[in-house]
Amino acid sequence: MNGLFITFEGTECSGKSTQISLLADRLRSMGRSVRMFREPGGTPIGEEIRHTLKHSAANHAMMSETELLLMNASRAQLVREVIRPALAAGEIVLCDRFHDSTIAYQGYGRQLNLKLVQQILDFAVGSTRPDLTLLLLVPHEVSEDRRLARQSTMPFMRDRIEEADRSFFELVAKGYHAIADADPQRVRPIDGTGEVNDIRATIWKLVEPFLAEKKAGQLT
């Protein structure tokens, strides 16, 4: 595979979506071919699974094990239907969440057995792994303030996962720190409380060396 695979991670409202769009715009302005996806979702099947996981009126009783399997069903589809073909074509793939979210949310947050979680996601993704992961970190209070501000500007849409309590999100944050500590070459923690443009510049510094190295997404 000669493309470049970059994932964005973080807790709720950490600014991932804004930064992905900014990075995609910059790469495209340089003539690079970029694909953007989100998880869960990113394919027609994955988007249906996303609705079931987050918004469906019938999802109240969902078990953590079911949540784990649905996240990875969506991911297995995304990897095979779009990510692998895009990387094989030499494109740059930017993904809003990927396998680290499962370790952080289902492994640490829901406290499922980490070995089993790892096995299931290994089955879902195989050898398709990100070259670089940008981890946006914001304290829980900032995340909550942003979430409430967002809610006040949009029509209300129930989100089962966001309904979890503070202790769940503290475990998720702990999970992300553990992931970053275990793989410091790939996973780059970034302070998500700064100015949008400063974060954008930090991200660019981390991405640029990969572009020189790989020439990924270069349109000829």
Contact between 161 and ligand TMP by CB under 6 A: the answer reads yes
State the minimum distance, in angstroms, from the CB of residue 212 to ligand TMP. 30
Beta strand spans in the chain (E): 4-10, 34-38, 92-96, 132-137, 187-191
Residue 211 tokens read as: 């572009």
Contact between 107 and ligand TMP by CB under 6 A: the answer reads no
Per CB under 6 A, the list member of 19, 102, 128, 143 interacting with ligand TMP is 102
Contact between 97 and ligand TMP by CB under 6 A: the answer reads yes
Q: At what angle do helices 166-182 and 140-153 cross, to 10 degrees?
A: 120
Contact between 40 and ligand TMP by CB under 6 A: the answer reads yes
**How far lies 184's CA from each of 19, 93, 132, 170, 199, in Å?**
21, 21, 10, 21, 19
Segment near ligand TMP (CB under 6 A); pick from 23-31, 80-88, 99-107, 142-150: 99-107
Contact between 14 and ligand TMP by CB under 6 A: the answer reads no
Of 30 and 149, the one with the shorter C-beta distance to ligand TMP is 149
Of 102 and 133, the one with the shorter C-beta distance to ligand TMP is 102
Q: In terms of C-beta density within 10 A (0-12 exposed, 13-18 middle, 19 or more buried), how is residue 216 classed?
A: buried
End-to-end CA distance of the chain: 18
φ, ψ for residue 211 (rounded to 5)? -70, -40
Of 39 and 131, the one with the shorter C-beta distance to ligand TMP is 39
Contact between 176 and ligand TMP by CB under 6 A: the answer reads no
Name the residues that contact ligand TMP, by CB under 6 A. Answer: 12, 38-40, 71, 97, 101-102, 105-106, 161
